[in-house]
A and B are shown apart, each in its own frame.
Chain A
Amino acid sequence: MNESTQRDEEREYPHWNRVYITVIIYTICLIIGLWLFSRMFQ
């Protein structure tokens, strides 16, 4: 892949870091949610 194609691709979506942070926050919320759910029924 040449450099200009790479640059086009990077330009395609410049906010990957926001997506990664969303995934991390989502996972932490999911783990906390599961923990709270299991505590309710123990």
Chain B
Amino acid sequence: MHWLDWAIVAAYLIYIVYDGLRLTKKSNEVEGYFLANRSLPWWAVGLSVIATQLSAITLVGTTGQAYADGMRFIQFYFGLPFAMVILCMTAVPFFYRAKVYTAYEYLERRFDAKTRALTSFFFLISRGLACGVIVAAPSVILSIVFGWNELATVLVMGLSTTLYTMFGGVQAVTWTDVKQMVVIFVGLGVILFVIVGQFPDSVSIGEAVSLAGAAGRMKTVDASFNANETYTLWSGLIGGMFLALSYFGCDQSQVQRFLTARSVSEGRTSLLMSAFVKIPMQVLILFIGVMVFVFYQFVQPPLIFKSDDRARVEQRAEYQRLNAEYAQAFDARRQAARDFADAADQGDARQSFIAASDRMNDVRKRASDLVKNETGKPLNDVNYVFPTFVTTYAPAGVIGLIIAAIFAAAMSSISAELAALSTATVMDFYRRHFRAEAPDAHYLMVSKLATGFWGLFACGVALYAGRLGSLIEVVNKFGSYFYGSLLGVFALAIGTRRATGNGAFFGLLAGMVSVALVARYSKISFLWYNVVGCVVVVAVGMLLSLLGKKSNPFDKGH
């Protein structure tokens, strides 16, 4: 890497840690440390909400997804604005006026201590492990693409974030998120400019989009009713809405964001900012991936992007034969792409281009099978497409900027998770069950220790997860079992006065078991898991609540 790139990455890291640490003095009491004294403006909270959700793997994986599969992934976000409206009408005023530190604290007021403890415990387990995955995923990719030491990457990313979150609290999290969003947006804008600038002179943006469209990369809406298809209009609108309701309304890492706002109105406005910005921002990220796809119509892409998998097969005769065939297929497709871009009547040229693309895809599929036979695992190299393009074709300075943007995306998510994990640990367990009365300074010290503990825990999980890819899958699955069910508990809490603590507690367990069974024995898309979990919790919770009340005529309810 050029010295300029190193300088940009170093400058970013030093500035962010300095910026976070200088807010330490504003976090000298528990409410300041966890809730910024409810003093933050809506635009800072809104950017923090977006930054928390945008992890490095979203940035890198989404561009790769668009390269491989086009823009269909955008449907995943279609339900988000509707969820934001529902949350602004319900969760924001409920949590804000309840003056709670955690979302789960509200459940104790509404139900009982065991429901609060169970939900908070599941949150700590799922998000603690997920935080490790958020550190691990970009570290693995950066170490493979750049040849960096994985341990060093994990420690630089994880420990620097832990340092400023530990001392600066949620003030540091929010204000560094704002700067990190600026780095991400600048990085995205510059890289789009770089990609388009490297197209052949004869190819305009309009022709590039036409090429992408002919290869099926511009399809954004699939209105078919197929529950097994992951990304459709309906899974996005319904499943995506339930997922967004669960994540933004029940996950402490997001709830804590709007609890820091100056008022209910500013909390609402901060969430509605995501409703306006999220879809266009994801369109931009996906469009960058599509433009990388168009770039590789004129420059031969690697047969396999993931270099460590490629290294395991490239000495084999079969791979070398496939590579030669791939080069020939690429030459034919490049010519077809040029003809398509130049053609006045695009009908025949379009068919030739599609046929040439199919030939290339066929060779790549055979190479994937070769890797699968060698490694025993299916080849999944979409996360390596964008970093490979950046390292190979971006000029000095831009590489550093993109690495800084990837770091920014990862660190903004990690810091919010750490702050949320620390808040839940201290407020839902330490203060609730171990030491109810203590000076503020004591809780502040314990909170900082808790943040430090979760930071080290995340780094430990990251190093382990890097070696065991399947752990990432397990963590993601556990999260998906939990989210919809948790939404069901909050629906019972906010939506009805008849639900009881036992109903919510056992409803939550029933919901999680149901989602696990659906995931095990059906092929429906994971976006529907949240709907299943939520519906089962509400149904079982209400049934148990009504039965419980019948058997206990003295239960006064809530």
A residues whose Cβ falls under 8 Å from a Cβ of B:
1, 6, 9, 12-13, 16, 19-20, 23-24, 26-27, 30-31, 34-35, 37-38, 40-42
Contact present for A6 and B275 (CB under 8 Å): no
Collect the chain B residues with CB atoms within 8 Å of residue A26's CB: 81, 275-276
| Given A24-B85, A27-B81, residue A16 in contact with residue B268 (CB < 8 A) | yes
- With A9-B263, A37-B218 given, name 13 new contacts (CB 8 A): A12-B263, A16-B89, A20-B89, A23-B85, A23-B275, A24-B81, A24-B85, A26-B276, A27-B82, A30-B280, A38-B71, A38-B220, A41-B212
Collect the chain A residues with CB atoms within 8 Å of residue B82's CB: 24, 27
Contact present for B279 and A30 (CB under 8 Å): yes
Contact present for B213 and A9 (CB under 8 Å): no
Listed by A's residue number, 12 A-B pairs whose Cβ atoms lie within 8 Å are A9-B263, A16-B268, A20-B89, A23-B272, A24-B82, A26-B81, A26-B276, A27-B275, A27-B279, A37-B220, A41-B210, A42-B213
Collect the chain A residues with CB atoms within 8 Å of residue B209's CB: 41
Over the window 61-103 of chain B, the binary record of Cβ atoms lying under 8 Å from chain A Cβ atoms (1 yes, 0 no) is 0000000000100100010011011001100000001010000
A42 to B213, CA, bound (A): 5
Contact present for A42 and B219 (CB under 8 Å): yes
Q: How far is the CB of A2 from chain B (nearest CB, A)?
A: 10
| Chain B, residue nearest A33 (CB) | B220
Chain B contact surface mostly? helix
Tell which of B78, B210, B264 touches A27, judged by Cβ atoms closer than 8 Å: B78
Collect the chain B residues with CB atoms within 8 Å of residue A42's CB: 213, 216, 218-219
| Given A24-B81, A38-B220, residue A9 in contact with residue B283 (CB < 8 A) | no
| Chain A, residue nearest B212 (CB) | A41
Tell which of B99, B213, B272, B276 touches A38, judged by Cβ atoms closer than 8 Å: B213
Chain B, 198-225, CB within 8 A of any chain A CB = 209-210, 212-214, 216, 218-221
Contact present for B265 and A31 (CB under 8 Å): no
Q: How far is the CB of A9 from chain B (nearest CB, A)?
A: 6
| Chain B, residue nearest A26 (CB) | B276
Tell which of A1, A13, A20, A27 touches B265, judged by Cβ atoms closer than 8 Å: A13
Tell which of A1, A13, A23, A40 touches B84, judged by Cβ atoms closer than 8 Å: A23
Q: How far is the CB of A35 from chain B (nearest CB, A)?
A: 4
| Chain B, residue nearest A12 (CB) | B265
Collect the chain A residues with CB atoms within 8 Å of residue B275's CB: 23, 26-27
Collect the chain A residues with CB atoms within 8 Å of residue B218's CB: 37-38, 41-42
Contact present for B221 and A38 (CB under 8 Å): yes
